Amino acid sequence: MHPITHAEARPDHPAIIMSGSGETLTYGEMDAYANRFAQLLRARGLKHGDHFGVLLENSIHYLPIVWGSQRAGTMMVPVSTRLTAPEICYILKDAGVKLLITSTYFDDRLDDIRSACAGIDTLVIGGNGESDYEAALNAQPSEPIADQAPGQYMLYSSGTTGAPKGVRPAPPDSDDILAVNPLVGLAVMGAGMPADGSMVYLSPAPLYHAAPLGWCTTAHRLGGTVVVMEKFDPVHALETIEKYRVTDSQWVPTHYVRMLKLEPEEREGHDLSSHQRALHAAAPCPVPIKREMIEWWGPIINEYYAGSEGIGMTLIKAADWLEHPGSVGKAIHGTIHVCGPEGEELEAGQDGLLFFENETIPTYHNDPEKTADAMHEKGWMTLGDIGHVDEDGYLYLTDRKSHMIISGGVNIYPQEIENLLVTHDKVMDAAVIGAPCPDFGEKVVAVVQPMDMGEAGEALEAELRDFLAPNLSKVKMPKLFDFRPALPREANGKLYKRELRDEYQRKAEEETEQA
């Protein structure tokens, strides 16, 4: 299954619809675009295995560029749109890209990027002169290139624990661009996605992330229509499901929280009857949030756990989740091993570092030390998560190893505290971190985004403490509540806790110097 076959069979069927503007590309149009882009890559000197960067907002151009790379055998490097010019240039240089595709959306950073990355060929959507992307693309023929081969992505970590690292995938198994993709089998057999071209798939997240890229391209392999939101908005998401009769979608828990915080009339005023399957991942979903979503949308919500590394995947459907609340399911790709501090395998129910055993293991680009740190002596690889497997084989996530707080010698996992906080009616978002403490090493700090910033203060703090007290031991109770209008959260749901921890570290150092 491949968009090429759908372009031949149903050239007028919509392949991409932008939910805000309504801009549409058919399969025939996307096929011609992808061929032109592959021709453009060759015209710019990129051969099989060469790297190019994509710094784009969600637009009609993104997925056709992906499919063009998939025909040119190149390594596409998607870049986060929230990064600063120095952070973007770090990735471009580290990845060794020969070409950057971007747009005038990034005009505030383009001059600095060009200056710092002067040796990188740059084409700009909406640009002019030699950097005019549309002119360069339209100058290319729409016929396939002579040396087609499947391309790959090199995704960079979000930098939540340090400088971003590129996940370099293992080489493809075949040079045939029409070869079966493993994710298609998981989508059809595991998630129940239709293979008859009837799917209307909603993508509410930034396309530069692993999950949106993976599921959008899978929907295209299955001949479905992908509806892309330019930017997530809870009301617009519900309107889009109704307007386009969306059948399938993929979310993160933050999306659920924002939709559940809507007023009842906003939540209930849309026809969601077409919606048959809703996937979610990226972060563990608080049990009360997921239970409320299932009550609202019905038993259509399926959860999976995976990572950009592609070493393993679990899946749990709504009916099984209701019997095993909090689980992210059983392994459907790779084998799970739960290990203790010395690498020993632990028994069912015991928390430890999670490893996946898989025949195909990636590496971290230009970072053999990070690759080695992620490996078990038996050749298994970890994503850095802590959790346990129960007697029935269901996996439960506890937290990220890097997020653990050690206060007075006690290990504290922030996820438990965050999951409780976001269920409070007056809390929109929350991040819990460890901040330096002279007495205990670290203290627990809750950084909270209230629903109404006007309510931030001592009264809300007291209310939250009372709310947490029945479920948290005293050692886990935040020593400080820091109210803010927004948190440094990626649109895919990941918190940039490193930014918050670094901020508190600097404050502690300044206080020490002044003492």
Q: Is residue 344 part of a domain?
A: no
pLDDT given at position 158? 66
Angle at which helix 27-43 crosses helix 62-72, to 10 degrees, equals 60
Which of 179, 212, 232 is the last residue in one of the domains? 179
pLDDT given at position 162? 61
Q: Is residue 375 part of a domain?
A: no
pLDDT given at position 183? 84
Q: Is residue 479 part of a domain?
A: yes
52-90 CB burial, b ≥16 within 10 A, e <16: bbbbbbbbbbbbbbbbbbbbbbbbbbbbbbebebebbbb
Which of 138, 153, 179 is the last residue in one of the domains? 179
**In this structure, which amino acid lies at residue 11?**
P
Residues near 20 by beta carbon (within 8 Å), at least 6 away in sequence: 229, 230, 231, 236
Q: Is residue 133 part of a domain?
A: yes
Residue 467: other Cβ atoms inside 10 A: 17
Contact criterion met (CB below 8 Å) for 174 and 149? no
Q: Is residue 254 part of a domain?
A: no
Q: How many domains does one find in the chain?
A: 2
Instruction: Copy the structure tokens of residue 447.
Output: 């950084």
Helices (H) and strands (E) counted in the chain, each on its own, are 17, 26
pLDDT given at position 461? 97
Which of 117, 144, 179 is the last residue in one of the domains? 179
**In this structure, which amino acid lies at residue 429?**
D
Instruction: Copy the structure tokens of residue 121.
Output: 């060929």
pLDDT given at position 263? 94
pLDDT given at position 74? 98
**Phi and psi, residue 64, nearest 5°:** -60, -35
Helix (H, G, I), strand (E, B) or coil at 416: helix
Q: Is residue 330 part of a domain?
A: no
pLDDT given at position 492? 67
CA distances 249 to 209, 212, 220, 272, Å, are 15, 10, 13, 12
Q: Is residue 138 part of a domain?
A: yes
CATH number at residue 453: 3.30.300.30
The full DSSP string for 220-278 is: HHTTPEEEE-SS--HHHHHHHHHHHT--EEEE-HHHHHHHHTS-HHHHHSS--TT--EE
Residue owning tokens 């209307």: 200
CA distance 248 to 448: 32
For residue 421, the enclosing domain spans 404-514
Enclosing H/E stretch for 504: helix 497-514
pLDDT given at position 159? 55
Contact criterion met (CB below 8 Å) for 435 and 443? yes
CA distance 450 to 459: 12
CATH number at residue 50: 3.40.50.12780
**In this structure, which amino acid lies at residue 251?**
W
Q: Is residue 204 part of a domain?
A: no
- pLDDT in 10s for each residue of the chain, 515 residues: 899 999 999 999 999 999 999 999 999 999 999 999 999 999 999 999 999 999 999 999 999 999 999 999 999 999 999 889 999 999 999 999 999 999 999 999 999 999 999 999 999 999 999 999 999 999 999 999 999 999 999 999 865 556 788 999 988 888 899 988 888 988 898 889 999 999 999 999 999 999 999 999 999 999 999 999 999 999 999 999 999 999 999 999 989 999 999 999 999 999 999 999 999 987 778 999 999 999 999 999 999 999 989 999 999 999 999 999 999 999 999 999 999 999 999 999 999 999 999 998 999 999 999 999 999 999 999 999 999 999 999 999 998 888 899 898 888 999 999 999 999 999 999 999 999 998 889 999 999 999 999 999 999 999 999 999 999 989 999 999 999 999 988 776 777 888 899 899 999 888 877 76
Ramachandran sector of residue 464 (left: φ over 0; alpha: ψ -120 to 50; beta: rest) = alpha
pLDDT given at position 395? 97
**In this structure, which amino acid lies at residue 142?**
S
